[in-house]
Amino acid sequence: MKQLKVFRSLVKDGFDVVTHGTKNYHLWMGFLTFMMLVGMYCYSIQLSEGLSVTGMTDRVSWGLYISNFTFLVGVAAAAVMLVMPTYVLHDVDFKQAVLIGEGLAVAALIMCLAFVIADMGGPSVLWHMIPGIGVFNFPNSMLTWDVIVLNGYLFLNITIPFYILFRHYQGKEAKSKVYVPGAILSVFWAVGIHLVTAFLYQGLQARPFWNNALLGPRFLASAFAAGPALIILVLAIIRNFTEFKIQDKTLKKIAMVVTVAAQINLIMLISELFKEFYAPTHHSESAYYLFFGLHGKDALLPWIWTAIPLNVLATVLLTFHKLRNNPKILYFSCFILFVAIWVEKGFGLIVPGFIPGPYGKIAEYTPTGIEIGVTIGIWALGAFIFTILARTAIGIELGQLRYRKDK
Amino acid sequence: MSRSNKKWFSLNLGRKQHDNSGSCGCGKTSGGCGSHSNDSEMSEEEFYNAAVDASIGDEREKDGFDQVFDVKMDRRTAFRKLTASLLIGAGAVNTSCNVLSSDESKEKAQIDWEEQFKGNYKLMTDDEKKGTVDRLVRSYQMRTGKTVSMSSKNAEEDVLFGYAFNISKCQGYMDCVSACVKENNQDRNSQMQYIRIHEMKDGEGLKFDEADDNYYHEVPAEGHFYLGTQCFHCDNPPCVEVCPVQATWREDDGLVVVDYDWCVGCRYCMAACPYDGRRFNWSKPEVPEEEVNHNQHYLGNRMRKKGVMEKCTFCVQRSRAGKNPACVEACPTGARIFGNLLDPNSTIRWVLENKKVFRLKEDLGTEPKFWYFMD
């Protein structure tokens, strides 16, 4: 009963915190709300007209939604790079950042689920997928594995920080015995969500572009580069706009993680390129389409040739200690790395899987305005959720939010 | 169907072997060879129940409107189900309880309610299958005033459908394509077609990437040959494995079918199909009322809705009634051959035994039941 009372008070205090702030904060939240409304309007059109309002066709049947979903799974998985050092290896330098990382994972996972639902032809019959009520084709379908791991990871990433914050809110110390088992589990789970998502594509013998053993490991490498890169950017913003102290040491350590992951990612990219282009087979056509275009169809060229140089540049910049230790260069590299991997793991991975089609037909894909609207709406939703979570968490961690403090 | 009796080469890449409890060494599944004499001691009903138990077992109670509501459940599950139903069904209840609305709209609401919460067709008993078919027929009648006949006929024993395509004979007239569209009530707006005819250059072999599957000129074009593709009804279909809700499956007579009402529209099967055999309803499918084929099957050409998958079913409404699929019947050159692979006297068996046949992308281990051959 007491716990419930504390919880009620936490919700009330949290609500107070997230509804009060500077003018810039209100502008930011207003902007996100507006974008979400735009996204909802676009989605309502899609609901009434069907998926024909998107750029997807029978030839390219997954597009922007699934691309973003794939990328965001990686962002969510990246929280593990902060969780492991903090809770398992007891590295105190990460302690400040870890709650932010977990908040980011929650926001990313909610965006993932939103993208999957946006991509569904029949969202009203999604209950068919609920085990027990519907028919859950487990373990045959990798999609059911994905449903399990994503929801499980979401659960872990909500409960662990919530427990810690809930204790801190009451001015008590969080018992490590309670949350460390969960944290250790979430480390494996994070690897799991990304590997399972890669298997979703990797297991399809129909699509040679995806059906290669490197897809899963490369997913992990790129995720552990892009995710922590985003965390660095977010921490930099938080450091600037709030009193939440994040030491340089923390940022430097996360930057190290980003660097190593980006380097491994680049090695794997070279390995992939070598395999596709040294002795090209019939199965290399998708890669040819992606990098050089096929039969005059080259819609993806600008994307991939933006992503690759940005990726290389960021990795090179990060590799040199001197450059990496300069905050301005660090933020810049993290930003371009994030963009590069978004293109590469999104558009650059999903769309060429369908081109050329099973019989060599090349039909290109361009997202429509409505599709882009829904996508932006979902990103705004993610940012909105993250802002709320981060503000509450920071409030509690700074001691501004305490149970019965002012009563 | 017993797999050891197959008359064609099978790669068998670690595929699961289904043991058919009813089959015996003679290869027949029903009586006749003498070793089934025990069966006669069971009453019809007992045998039926035992057979149902053996084939679907626990799954019977897993889902479905009746399947769900007839089983015992604890308070928690019951509560969960009720809340879920409540949200979506509130509108329907409102209509059906409204004293002012007519009997017809009440019936409509009742049908909509039951259709929304019915189970997966694959797991339904024959009575449940009949129930949903009756509801769909009634609903169509109330909405359009027209009567359709819809079948829920199951696969027959000792039948395994197969298809052969004579590349030498096909001239690319595409009569099969238009017959298919007409027979199967495909969406006219998006010009959905199950069959694709690939026009290839003579002397270059099967170069699919250079073939034209969307030509608009007089055929046969000089120096070209034609090859048709559609769903190959694989014996080891990748699309079935990946479906998260088992909305698509392989029937006992080898047809790979979709329950349009159970499909959630994730299009994973489309990504998994190596043969471009699946089609999606990107918007609400529309067929002019006067062109609708009223001879329907639940798993075949009944009207679809927006956001679900569909595909060639070898015209299940025709093939299970002993007729050839529409494409076979429409072909003016006799390039298409369809029949029962388990019948040693069928034409398809003659083709497989006497012609040099091949299948597409055999290295993928999908085991298509669709062969190509040349004269």
Helix (H) or strand (E) holding B228: strand B224-229
Q: Per 3-state DSSP, what percentage of chain B is helix, strand, and coil (rounded to 5)?
A: 35, 15, 50
Tell me the percentage of chain A whose pLDDT exceeds 90. Answer: 71
> Can you give the pLDDT at residue A373?
97
Same domain assignment for residues B248 and B116: no
CB contact B283 to A (< 8 Å):
yes
Q: What is the dihedral of CA A224, A225, A228, A230, to 10 degrees?
A: -130
> Can you give the pLDDT at residue A242?
86
Size of interface A-B (CB pairs under 8 A): 150
B151 token code pair: 């079948």
Nearest to A58 among B265, B266, B279 (CB): B279
Distance (Å) from the alpha carbon of A319 to chain B's nearest alpha carbon: 38
Distance (Å) from the alpha carbon of A303 to chain B's nearest alpha carbon: 23
Asked if residue B156 belongs to a domain, the reply is no
Same domain assignment for residues B25 and B137: no
Q: What is the mean pLDDT of residues A136-163?
A: 92
Same domain assignment for residues B10 and B114: no
Asked if residue B154 belongs to a domain, the reply is no
φ and ψ at residue B311, rounded to 5 degrees: -170, 175
φ and ψ at residue A13, rounded to 5 degrees: -65, -40
Instruction: Please answer whether residues A143 and B244 qualify as being in contact, where contact means their C-beta atoms are separated by less than 8 angstroms.
Output: yes
State CA B177 to chain mean position distance: 18
- Which one of A135-139, A188-192, B235-239 scores highest in mean pLDDT? B235-239
Q: What is the mean pLDDT of residues B99-108?
A: 77
Judge: B242–A129 Cβ closer than 8 Å, yes or no: no
Task: For chain A, give the number of residues.
Answer: 407
Q: What is the mean pLDDT of residues A334-339?
A: 96
* Concatenated DSSP letters of A281-329: -GGGHHHHHHHT-BTTB-TTHHHHHHHHHHHHHHHHHHHSHHHHTSHHH
Instruction: Please answer whether residues A174 and A152 qualify as being in contact, where contact means their C-beta atoms are separated by less than 8 angstroms.
Output: no
Helix (H) or strand (E) holding B65: helix B65-70
φ and ψ at residue A33, rounded to 5 degrees: -60, -45
Place of tokens 């790669």: B11
Asked if residue B210 belongs to a domain, the reply is yes
Higher pLDDT, A151 or B85: A151
Residue closest to B259 by CA, chosen among B294, B230, B300: B300
Residue closest to A60 by CA, chosen among A374, A371, A360, A357: A357
Residue closest to A246 by CA, chosen among A132, A97, A401: A97
Distance (Å) from the alpha carbon of A89 to chain B's nearest alpha carbon: 38
User: Is the predicted pLDDT of residue B62 greater than 50, yes or no?
Assistant: no
Q: Report residue B88's pLDDT band, with 50, 70 and 90 as the boundaries.
A: low
> Can you give the pLDDT at residue A260?
95
Q: What is the mean pLDDT of residues B173-200?
A: 95
User: Which of A121-135, A329-343, B81-95 has the weakest average pLDDT?
Assistant: B81-95
User: Which of A25-34, A175-184, A331-340 has the weakest average pLDDT?
Assistant: A175-184
User: Is the predicted pLDDT of residue B59 greater than 60, yes or no?
Assistant: no
User: Is the predicted pLDDT of residue B101 greater than 90, yes or no?
Assistant: no
For residue A74, how many C-alpha atoms fall within 13 Å in the half-sphere facing its CB?
A: 30
User: Is the predicted pLDDT of residue A404 greater than 80, yes or no?
Assistant: no
Distance (Å) from the alpha carbon of A360 to chain B's nearest alpha carbon: 4
User: Is the predicted pLDDT of residue B43 greater than 90, yes or no?
Assistant: no
> Can you give the pLDDT at residue A211?
93
pLDDT, tens only, B321-375 = 999 999 999 999 999 999 999 999 999 999 999 999 999 999 999 999 999 999 8
Which residue pairs from B10-17 have beta carbons closer than 8 angstroms and sit at least 24 positions apart in sequence?
A: B10/B235, B10/B367, B11/B362, B11/B365, B11/B367, B13/B236, B13/B365, B15/B235, B15/B236, B15/B365, B15/B367
Distance (Å) from the alpha carbon of A206 to chain B's nearest alpha carbon: 4
pLDDT, tens only, A352-402 = 999 999 998 899 999 999 999 999 999 999 999 999 999 999 999 888 888
Same domain assignment for residues B224 and B319: yes
CB contact B247 to A (< 8 Å):
yes
Tell me the percentage of chain A whose pLDDT exceeds 70. Answer: 99
- Mean pLDDT for chain A? 92
Q: Which residues of B184-204 are buried (b: 16+ CB within 10 A; e: fewer)?
A: bbbbeebebbbbbbbbbeeee
A196 token code pair: 């399972």
Q: Measured between beta carbons, which residues in chain B are less than 8 angstroms from residue A58?
A: 192, 270, 278-280, 282
Q: Distance (Å, rounded) from C-alpha B303 to C-alpha A374? A: 30
Instruction: Please answer whether residues A53 and A368 qualify as being in contact, where contact means their C-beta atoms are separated by less than 8 angstroms.
Output: yes
Higher pLDDT, B5 or A241: A241
Amino acid at A10: L
Same domain assignment for residues B107 and B132: yes
CB contact B267 to A (< 8 Å):
yes
Same domain assignment for residues B81 and B26: no
Same domain assignment for residues B11 and B67: no
> Can you give the pLDDT at residue B90?
64
Chain B residue nearest residue A208, CA to CA: B274
Same domain assignment for residues B203 and B315: yes
> Can you give the pLDDT at residue A347?
86
pLDDT, tens only, A83-98 = 888 887 788 778 778 8
Amino acid at B352: L
Q: Distance (Å, rounded) from C-alpha B140 to C-alpha A337? A: 55
Asked if residue B184 belongs to a domain, the reply is yes
Tell me the percentage of chain B whose pLDDT exceeds 90. Answer: 65
For residue B179, how many C-alpha atoms fall within 13 Å in the half-sphere facing its CB?
A: 16
B309-311 vs B278-280, strand pairing mode = antiparallel
Judge: domain A17-259+369-397, CATH 1.10.3470.
Answer: no
Higher pLDDT, B269 or B42: B269
Q: Distance (Å, rounded) from C-alpha A382 to C-alpha A376? A: 10
Q: Starting at the edge strand that comes first in sequence, how are the strands of the sheet with B370-373 ordered?
A: B336-340, B161-166, B370-373
φ and ψ at residue A403, rounded to 5 degrees: -65, 125
pTM of the model: 0.85
> Can you give the pLDDT at residue A175?
87
pLDDT, tens only, A26-48 = 999 999 999 999 999 999 999 99
> Can you give the pLDDT at residue B89?
62
Higher pLDDT, B37 or A75: A75
Residue closest to A82 by CA, chosen among A234, A263, A198: A234
Q: Which residues of B303-338 are buried (b: 16+ CB within 10 A; e: fewer)?
A: bbebbbbbbbbbbbbbbbeeebbbbbbbbebebbbb
Q: Per 3-state DSSP, what percentage of chain A is helix, strand, and coil (rounded to 5)?
A: 75, 0, 25
Q: At which of B82, B112, B147 does a domain end?
A: B147
Q: Measured between beta carbons, which residues in chain A are less than 8 angstroms from residue B276?
A: 357-359, 361
3-state secondary structure of B250: strand
User: Is the predicted pLDDT of residue B27 greater than 50, yes or no?
Assistant: no
- Residue ranges per structural domain of chain A: 17-259+369-397
Judge: B80–A61 Cβ closer than 8 Å, yes or no: no
Same domain assignment for residues B359 and B278: yes
With a CB cutoff of 8 Å and minimum separation 6, the contacts of B107 are B138, B142
Same domain assignment for residues B133 and B259: no
Instruction: Please answer whether residues A62 and A355 qualify as being in contact, where contact means their C-beta atoms are separated by less than 8 angstroms.
Output: no
Instruction: Please answer whether residues A290 and A352 qualify as being in contact, where contact means their C-beta atoms are separated by less than 8 angstroms.
Output: yes
Q: Helix/strand/coil (H, E, C) string of B282-306? A: CCCCCCCHHHCCCEEECCCCCCCCC
> Can you give the pLDDT at residue B30?
45
Nearest to B307 among A62, A122, A201 (CB): A122
Q: Where are the beta strands (DSSP E) in B38-95?
A: none
Give Rg (Cα) of chain B: 23
Domain that holds residue B262: 161-373
Q: Distance (Å, rounded) from C-alpha B119 to C-alpha B171? A: 44
Same domain assignment for residues B82 and B205: no
Q: Distance (Å, rounded) from C-alpha A131 to C-alpha A124? A: 16
Judge: B306–A50 Cβ closer than 8 Å, yes or no: yes
Mutation target to probe the B interface, by most B beta carbons within 10 A, among A48, A61, A211, A282 is A61
Chain A residue nearest residue B193, CA to CA: A58
Asked if residue B327 belongs to a domain, the reply is yes
Judge: B264–A121 Cβ closer than 8 Å, yes or no: yes
Same domain assignment for residues B141 and B226: no
User: Is the predicted pLDDT of residue A217 greater than 60, yes or no?
Assistant: yes
Task: Report the domain count for chain B.
Answer: 3
Q: Measured between beta carbons, which residues in chain A are less than 8 angstroms from residue B245?
A: 128-129, 134-137
Instruction: Please answer whether residues B140 and B146 qualify as being in contact, where contact means their C-beta atoms are separated by less than 8 angstroms.
Output: yes
Q: Distance (Å, rounded) from C-alpha A113 to C-alpha A72? A: 10
Amino acid at A243: E
